[in-house]
A and B are shown apart, each in its own frame.
Chain A
Amino acid sequence: MATAQKDPVLVVLQLTGGNDYLNTVIPYNNPLYQDNRKAVGIPEGQILAFDNEYGFPPYLAPLKKVWDDNKLAIMHGVGYLDSPRSHFRSMDIWHTCEPEKVGTEGWLGRVVREFDPKKENVVTAVSFGPCLFRALAVPGVPVACVAGALENYGFLPNIQEPTQRQQVLERFSRMYQPIEGSGVMDYLGTTGLDSLKGADILKVAPSLYKSEVKYPNTSIASKLRGIAQVHLAGLGTRVFYCDHGSFDSHAGQNPLHAKLWTDVSEGLDAFMTDLRQHDAADNVIVLMFSEFGRRVRDNGSGTDHGAAGATFVLGDKVKGGHYGEYPSLAAERLVQGDLNPNMDFRGIYSTILDKWLHIDPVPIVNGTYEQPAFLN
Chain B
Amino acid sequence: MAKQDDIALMAHLMRRAGFGASRDELEARVAKGYEATVEELLNPESQPPVDPYALLRYQPAALLPGGQPPMGNVNYMYYLVTTKRPLQEKMALFWHHVFATGNSKVDNYDQLLEQIEIFRNNGMGNYRDLLLKMARNPTMIFWLDNNQNHGNAVNENWGRELLELFSLGAGNYTEKDVREASRAFTGWTFETKIPRLPYGRFPWKFEYRPEDHDDGEKEFLGHRGHLNGEDIIDIIAQQPACARFVCRHLYNFFVADEPQVPAWSLEPPRDPAALDAMAKTLRDSKYEIVPVLRMLFNSDFFKNARNKHLKSPAEVVVGTLRLVGGYDIPKPGYGELSMQPSYMGQDLLNPPSVEGWHTGSEWINSGSLMARINFVAEQLGDQSLPGVQAIIGRLKAQGTLSPEKLVTACLDLLGPVEVNSDTRKELTDQAKQWGQLSWDSVPNAQTAARRATEMMQLIVATREFQFA
Contact = CB atoms under 8 A, between A and B. Distances in A.
Contacts of B427: 171
A299 B197 contact: yes
B104 A89 contact: yes
Given A175-B422, A192-B463, A131 B344 contact: yes
Contacts of B466: 188
B377 A143 contact: no
Contacts of A155: 370, 373-374, 377, 461
Nearest to A188: B463
7 contacts: A131-B371, A143-B366, A164-B454, A168-B457, A175-B462, A299-B197, A299-B198
A283 interface: no
Interface in A96-145: 102, 122, 127, 130-132, 137, 139, 142-145
A168 B257 CA distance: 30
B343 A147 contact: yes
A195 B350 CA distance: 27
Interface string B83-118: 000000000000000000011110100000000000
A131 B352 contact: no
A1 interface: no
A157 B355 CA distance: 35
Interface of A: 84, 86-89, 92, 102, 122, 127, 130-132, 137, 139, 142-145, 147, 154-159, 164, 167-168, 171-172, 174-177, 183-185, 187-189, 191-192, 194-195, 198-199, 250, 299-300, 304
B47 interface: no
A147 B103 contact: no
Interface stretch (B51-59, B356-364, B392-400): B356-364
Contacts of A188: 361, 364, 369, 463, 466
B43 to A, nearest CB: 35
Interface string B347-387: 00010110100001110111111110110011001000000
Nearest to B360: A184
A199 B367 CA distance: 11
B342 A189 contact: no
A88 B457 contact: no
Contacts of B365: 132, 137, 139, 143, 191
Given A122-B366, A167-B433, A189-B463, 11 more contacts: A88-B350, A89-B105, A139-B362, A155-B377, A156-B374, A156-B461, A171-B430, A175-B426, A187-B364, A188-B369, A192-B369
Nearest to A300: B198
B366 A172 contact: no
Interface in B19-45: none
Nearest to A194: B366
Contact of A131 (B368, B423, B462): B368
Contacts of A187: 361, 364
A195 B368 CA distance: 10
B310 interface: yes
A240 B51 CA distance: 45
Contacts of A167: 430, 433
A284 to B, nearest CB: 23
Contacts of B370: 145, 147, 154-155, 195, 199
Nearest to A192: B369
A130 to B, nearest CB: 5
A139 B364 CA distance: 9
B417 to A, nearest CB: 13
B458 A145 contact: no
B255 to A, nearest CB: 16
Given A142-B366, A184-B310, A195-B366, A88 B373 contact: no
A188 B369 CA distance: 8
- Of B103, B345, B368, chain A has the most CB atoms within 10 Å of the CB of B368
B429 interface: yes
Considering the complex of A and B, which 4 residue pairs feature the smallest CB-CB distances, nearest first? A132-B367, A88-B104, A145-B367, A131-B343
A88 B103 contact: yes
B381 to A, nearest CB: 4
A92 B105 CA distance: 12
Nearest to A138: B365
A80 B365 CA distance: 30
B366 A158 contact: no
Given A171-B430, A184-B310, A130 B343 contact: yes
A172 B461 contact: yes
A230 to B, nearest CB: 16
- Of A142, A168, A299, A300, chain B has the most CB atoms within 10 Å of the CB of A168
Contact of B367 (A84, A143, A183, A189): A143
Nearest to A152: B374
Contact of B454 (A147, A168, A304): A168
A147 B371 contact: yes
Contacts of A131: 342-345, 367-368, 371
- Of A131, A194, A299, chain B has the most CB atoms within 10 Å of the CB of A131
Nearest to A171: B426
Contacts of A304: 197
B430 A102 contact: no
B415 to A, nearest CB: 16
Interface string B416-434: 0000001100110110010
Given A131-B367, A174-B426, A158 B102 contact: no
A157 B364 CA distance: 20
B353 A102 contact: yes
- Of B102, B369, B370, chain A has the most CB atoms within 10 Å of the CB of B370
B104 A157 contact: no
A164 B457 CA distance: 12
Interface in B296-346: 310, 339, 342-345
Contacts of B368: 131-132
